[in-house]
Amino acid sequence: EFISTFERIGRDFGAGADSS
C-alpha cells in the first residue's frame, strides 16, 4: 500500500498521514 510512503512523507512534513 502506498500509504506507507505517504506516512513517511507526512512525517517529513511534520504532519502524519493519519492526521489527515
Decide: 17 and 7 in contact? Cβ < 8 Å. Answer: yes
Decide: 10 and 20 in contact? Cβ < 8 Å. Answer: yes
Residue-level pLDDT at 7: 78
Q: What is the pLDDT of residues 1-20, one digit of tens each?
A: 677 887 788 777 765 545 55
Residue-level pLDDT at 18: 58
Residue-level pLDDT at 4: 82
Measure the CA–CA gap between 5 and 13, rounded to whole angstroms.
Answer: 12
Measure the CA–CA gap between 2 and 10, rounded to whole angstroms.
Answer: 12
Residue-level pLDDT at 16: 52
Instruction: Provide the whole-model pTM.
Output: 0.19
Residue-level pLDDT at 11: 78
From the number of C-beta atoms within 10 Å of its C-beta (0-12, 13-18, 19+), residue 6 rates as: middle
